[in-house]
Amino acid sequence: MKCPACQNELQESVVAGVTIQTCLGECGGLWFDRFQFNKLKVLKPGIGKSLLTIERAEGVKIYRGAEHTCPACKTTLLYRHFFSAEWDTEINQCSKCGGFWIDLAGLAKLQSLPANQRKQAVEKYFITVIDEKLSEMRLLHGDMAEQAQVLKRILQFLCPNNELTPPEQAVGDP
C-alpha cells in the first residue's frame, strides 16, 4: 500500500492489537482502516502514542495542497475533514471504505517540548485545531457524528489528551 500523500511504501504496525499503516521515514502519516475502529473503543487512551512520533523526513510537506487518493480503494479521492498548514495537521477520510488518513505532524512536534510547556501547547492544539472540528462534524448529520466519534477515538489512541481533563481529575497521573 502506498502513502496517499507522498507515495512512499507504507509499513504495517500493530500496536495493542490495532493494525496501522504508517508512512515511516517520510511524511509520517497514518492509515486506519475501518476494521480497526471497534478495537479502539476498549483501549487505554495514549496506548498508541509511539505512532504519533514515528520517524519523519524533514520537508516532506509539498503535497499539502494536493488531493489524495485512498491507499486502499486506489481510485477514490479522500475527503478532507481538516487541513491546517499552520498546525501541520491533516485529517482525511475515504467516503467509500471509511478509512482515515491522518497526519498529525504538528501535534508530534509538541511532544518534544519540556513537560511544563507541552501540557499547555497540547491543550491549545486540541482546543484550536481538533475540538472545534469535531463539534462541527457532530452537528452536520448522524453519520458524520459517528465519524467524529471514531476520529476522537483515534486521536485518544495516539495522544492521551490528559491535558484536557480538569486538574482535580488529573491527580495521580504520572
Residue pair 77/92 in contact (Cβ under 8 Å)? The answer is no
Is position 5 an interface residue for Zn ion (rule: CB under 5 A)? yes
From residue 59 to residue 78, the character string flagging contacts with Zn ion as x (rule: CB under 5 A) and all else as - is: -----------x-xx--x--
Is position 89 an interface residue for Zn ion (rule: CB under 5 A)? no
Strands 18-22 and 11-15: antiparallel
Measured from the CB atom, is 122 or 150 closer to Zn ion? 150
- Distance, in Å, from the CA atom of 67 to the CA atom of 173, rounded to the nearest integer, reads 40
Measured from the CB atom, is 94 or 137 closer to Zn ion? 94
Tell me which residue of 17, 24, 46, 37 sits closest to 99, measured CA to CA.
37
Is position 97 an interface residue for Zn ion (rule: CB under 5 A)? yes
Is position 30 an interface residue for Zn ion (rule: CB under 5 A)? no
Is position 3 an interface residue for Zn ion (rule: CB under 5 A)? yes
**Minimum gap (Å) between residue 6 Cβ and Zn ion:** 3
Is position 18 an interface residue for Zn ion (rule: CB under 5 A)? no
Is position 90 an interface residue for Zn ion (rule: CB under 5 A)? no
Number of H helices, E strands in the chain: 7, 6
Is position 51 an interface residue for Zn ion (rule: CB under 5 A)? no
**Minimum gap (Å) between residue 133 Cβ and Zn ion:** 21
Measured from the CB atom, is 23 or 154 closer to Zn ion? 23
* All three cell numbers of 46: 495514549
List the end-to-end C-alpha distance of the chain, in Å, as a whole number.
38
Measured from the CB atom, is 23 or 122 closer to Zn ion? 23
Rounded to the nearest 10 degrees, how much is the dihedral formed by the CA atoms of 114, 13, 93, 54? Answer: 30
Amino acid code (one letter) for 17 = G
3-state secondary structure of 105: helix
Residues in the site for Zn ion, rule: CB under 5 A?
Answer: 3, 5-6, 8, 23, 26-27, 29, 70, 72-73, 76, 94, 96-97
